[in-house]
Amino acid sequence: MAISEQDKPLLTPGMRRQLIFWLLSAVIFLLMLVLLRSILLPFIAGMALAYFLDPVADKLETWGASRLLATSIILLLFIILFVLAFLLIIPSLSQQFAGFVERMPGYVAQLQALLVESELLKRIIGEGGSTIRDNLDSIVGKGTQWASTVLASIWSSGKAIIDVVSLLVITPIVAFYLLLDWDRMIARVDSWLPRDHKQTIRQLARDMNGAIAGFVRGQGSVCLILGTFYALALTVVGLNFGLLIGMFVGLISFIPFVGSIIGLVLSVGVALVQFWPEWPMVLIVIGVFAVGQFVEGNFLQPRLVGKSVGLHPVWLMFALSAFGALFGFTGLLVAVPVAAALGVLVRFALQTYLESPLYKGHNGESDTKPSKKAAE
């Protein structure tokens, strides 16, 4: 007896076995990442470095260099630049960070006094607004405590970043071998794909590569350019800790709105304490961030990133929080690329669902036509 369309199962036994297999594989993979999160940093950094530099190696190969020679040249130049930056910039950043942590309580106290004694604030709250001023004192005190905790966490993470054994030794080695064997690894993984679904998986991989490349290469370049601009501009203006603040703002500028707001608040707060009552200097500091945001929004983002990542700001901040909580600093490094890849998978899953009997029903018709009442 023939089976009617309505009696056909939505998932065949083969599809169910594949679904169970891939779900179990994903769960085991995530568990391994959680268990090994303390040693992942140099390997993740090496993978990111190899991924970032692979187009350069491909370009050198088109010019006649072997893969081994191209990889050696790229890694040698990168190590030279990294060592120069480490010797010239890192000591200054370390000194400024130590000085900023030491002077932050005094800065907060002076800024709090300026705000409380401000004539504008007095006009707003009136002479009888002692309760509001007390609440402001409490808020600033709690904010100082939170900032101290954040700075301590950043300092701890910074020590992990500059760990000599993990990052300065293991990362270049990992990057060298991955960059050398990158094309062969891609071909080998491609040979493992299920034959019935290889074209679909290849298309998903291309979409993921486009989304991730938009962040790793595009947004990474934007962060580097902005960090250099802010650091130089704030140092030229004469702002205390200008190099530190500028590089920090560049580092976190991949977070929409949050990076620029934090940098502006830090810079204006330090400028108020340092230059008060010279308002023109404070306005110049604000102008530096206005120029940076204009250049980023009108030139850097459209040209270097475009819409290749396609992540909603809320989803981006959730990914940063979730991966940071699970994997620490390493999670922050991979949060956006993984979120971009997951976004591609979610869009594919949604498209597949909209074309499946789960959405259309057994008769194969989707309820997309407007009703007569709606049409009228």
Q: Is residue 298 part of a domain?
A: no
Rounded CA separation 272/107 (Å): 9
Comparing C-alpha atoms, which of 117, 94, 144 is closest to residue 272? 117
Comparing C-alpha atoms, which of 330, 320, 183, 177 is closest to residue 254? 320
* Residue 129: pLDDT over 70: no
Q: Is residue 109 part of a domain?
A: yes
Place of tokens 């760990």: 163
- pTM beyond 0.85: the answer is no
How high is the pLDDT of residue 371? 47
Average pLDDT for residues 332-339, to the nearest whole number? 79
Q: Is residue 287 part of a domain?
A: no
Q: Is residue 68 part of a domain?
A: yes
Average pLDDT for residues 286-300, to the nearest whole number? 87
How high is the pLDDT of residue 196? 77
Cβ partners under 8 Å of residue 288, min gap 6:
230, 233, 234, 237, 267
Among the residues of the chain, which ranges form H helices? 13-35, 41-62, 67-88, 90-116, 119-125, 130-161, 171-180, 182-191, 198-213, 220-237, 242-251, 258-275, 279-295, 313-327, 329-354, 357-360, 372-375
Helix, strand, coil tally for the chain in percent (to 5): 85, 0, 15
Domain containing 147 equals 40-192
Q: Is residue 122 part of a domain?
A: yes
Q: Is residue 178 part of a domain?
A: yes
**Single-letter amino acid, residue 251:** L
233 pLDDT band (50/70/90 cuts)?
A: very high
**Count of all residues that appear for the chain in the document:** 376
How high is the pLDDT of residue 11? 60
Average pLDDT for residues 28-45, to the nearest whole number? 79
CA dihedral for 86, 89, 95, 96, sign (positive or negative): negative
Average pLDDT for residues 331-341, to the nearest whole number? 79
Rounded CA separation 69/48 (Å): 20
pLDDT tens profile 85-121: 777 777 777 788 778 777 777 777 777 777 666 655 5
pLDDT tens profile 155-174: 554 444 445 456 667 888 88
376 pLDDT band (50/70/90 cuts)?
A: very low
- To the nearest whole percent, how much of the chain has pLDDT over 70? 73
How high is the pLDDT of residue 229? 92
How high is the pLDDT of residue 287? 92
Average pLDDT for residues 11-21, to the nearest whole number? 72
Mean pLDDT taken over the chain:
75
Cβ partners under 8 Å of residue 335, min gap 6:
319, 320, 322, 323, 324
Q: Is residue 362 part of a domain?
A: no
- To the nearest whole percent, how much of the chain has pLDDT over 90? 4
How high is the pLDDT of residue 35? 80
Q: For the chain, how many structural domains are there in total?
A: 1
Q: Is residue 255 part of a domain?
A: no
How high is the pLDDT of residue 160? 47
How high is the pLDDT of residue 150? 54
Average pLDDT for residues 287-305, to the nearest whole number? 83
Is 326 or 347 the better-scoring residue by pLDDT?
347
Do the Cβ atoms of 240 and 92 come closer than 8 Å? no
Residue 96 tokens read as 């400024």
Q: How far is CA 353 from CA 81, 206, 311, in A?
A: 49, 21, 21
